[in-house]
Amino acid sequence: MNCREQLNQQDFTLEPALLNDWHVVAASDEVTEGKLIPSTLFERDLVIWRDSGGQAHVWEDLCIHRGARLSKGFIASDRVVCPYHGWNYDGTAQCRLIPASPGETPMKKAKAISHHVQEAYGFIWTSLGEPEHDIPDFPEWNDDSYKKVVCGPYRFKSGYRAVENFIDPTHFPFVHAGVNGLMDDPDPIGAYDVWEENGALASSEVQVTQPYGDPRNVPVTAFYAYKCLRPLVAYFKKRVLITDPDRAHEGNPNDRFCTYLTAQQVSETESIVRICCAMNFNPMPTDDEVRQRQDLVYAQDSDIVDTQRPERIPTDLRQELHHRTDLLGMKYRSWLQKMGVQYGTV
C-alpha cells in the first residue's frame, strides 16, 4: 500500500463516488509558474504548482520527512523545496536532494504524495483516488463561435446546495428579482421531464421571464435545459429570445448562454463554486461585463442558500417538503443517494 492509499484510509473513508471522481481545486490562471498554491478538498490539504513546462501538479501539502506544509516552501529549478529541512522534490514528486547529506542519493520512498491532475475548461482538476470517469463534457468549450469566461470563486457552505440551487429556476423571481425574474409577476413553472442520460441527469426546457437575462442587459424569454453531470458538476444551456421590440434586432434564434458549474467541497459545510460561461451572441460582452453579472447573481444566491438548514443536504426525500416544480432537485438528491454519496449529506 502506498502513502496515498494509506492516507485515503487513515483520515476518513471517502465513498468511491467522490474519491474516484475528478474535482476542481483551482482555476488554471490561479496557478502560475514558480508559485505554490494551497488548497483543500474534502478536508485534505493540498499544494498546487506549475513547472516551467506548463504542467500542473497537485500533491498532498505534506513533506514525507517530518510532515511540514510544502506550500510554505518555495520552488527552485522546477523543484519544490520543503520549508523545514530543504528537501527538494522534482516534478515526479521524488526527493532529489537532502541538503543535510548532499552527497547521498535520497531513498526511493522519499517521495511527495502526488495525485492525478488534468486541466480542462479553465480549471485544475484532481482525483484523490483512481478516476472512474472522464471529466464531464462541456460541449461549447471547443466551439469557436462561443466566447468563454471563467468566473468566481464563490464561497458557499454546501456545494450540493449550490448545485441544487443552480438547477432550480423557481427561485429566480425572489432571489434575483429584477435580474432573472419578476417578484410581482413570477412565472408559473409548467411540467417538465427529467431523465438519466449517459450517467447524468438531464431535463427538458423550462421557460422563464428575465428582465436582465444575459450580459447584454436585455429582457428575454429564457428556456433552460439542465444537466447534473456529476455530484458536484452541473450545466445548463439557455436559449434566449429578446422580448423588447425595440431591441429585438439584436437577437438571433440561435442565441445561447451556457454555464458549466463546479463545486469544490472543502469540508462538509464549506465549498468553493467556480463556473465557466459560454455565449454565442453578438455583440459579445466583455469579460468584465460577464463577470459583473455572475458576481451579482452568485452573491444573491449564497446570501440565501447559506441560510438553509441543515447545511449538509438531506438525500432522504422525507426530510424536506417537495413540490412537483422541484422535480430535478428531487431527482438530484435521489441520484446522490443511489451513488452512495454520504460526505456532506444527511
Model pLDDT for residues 210-235, shown as the tens digit of each residue:
998 778 888 999 999 999 999 999 99
Is position 45 within any domain?
Answer: yes
What angle is formed at CA 118 by the lines to CA 114 and CA 121, rounded to 5 degrees?
A: 150
Is position 344 within any domain?
Answer: no
User: By percentage, how much of the chain surpasses pLDDT 90?
Assistant: 91
Has residue 25 got a pLDDT over 70? yes
Point out the domain boundary residue: 72, 106, 127. 127
Q: Are residues 206 and 278 in the same domain?
A: yes
Q: Are residues 74 and 145 in the same domain?
A: no
Q: Which residue has the cell 432522504?
A: 316
Q: Are residues 158 and 53 in the same domain?
A: no
pLDDT at residue 11, rounded to an integer = 56
At residue 13 the predicted structure's pLDDT band, cuts being 50, 70 and 90, is: confident
β-strands 147-156, 123-127 pairing: unpaired
Q: Are residues 20 and 86 in the same domain?
A: yes
Is position 119 within any domain?
Answer: yes
Find the CATH number of the domain harbouring 113.
2.102.10.10
Lowest mean pLDDT among 15-29, 64-78, 244-258: 244-258
φ, ψ for residue 114 (rounded to 5)? -100, 155
pLDDT at residue 3, rounded to an integer = 64
pLDDT at residue 166, rounded to an integer = 98
Q: What would the pLDDT profile of 139-167 be if each residue is shown by its tens digit?
A: 999 999 999 999 999 999 999 999 999 99
- Number of structural domains found in the chain: 2
Point out the domain boundary residue: 127, 151, 179. 127
Q: Are residues 144 and 67 in the same domain?
A: no
Find the CATH number of the domain harbouring 259.
3.90.380.10
Mean pLDDT score of the chain: 95
Query: DSSP character for 193?
Result: -
Rounded Cα distance, 208 and 225, in Å: 12
pLDDT at residue 70, rounded to an integer = 98
At residue 250 the predicted structure's pLDDT band, cuts being 50, 70 and 90, is: confident
Q: What would the pLDDT profile of 173-203 be if each residue is shown by its tens digit?
A: 999 999 999 999 999 999 999 999 999 999 9
Q: Are residues 274 and 211 in the same domain?
A: yes
Q: Are residues 50 and 150 in the same domain?
A: no
Q: Is 9 helix (H, G, I), strand (E, B) or coil?
A: helix
Domain with 96 in it: 3-127
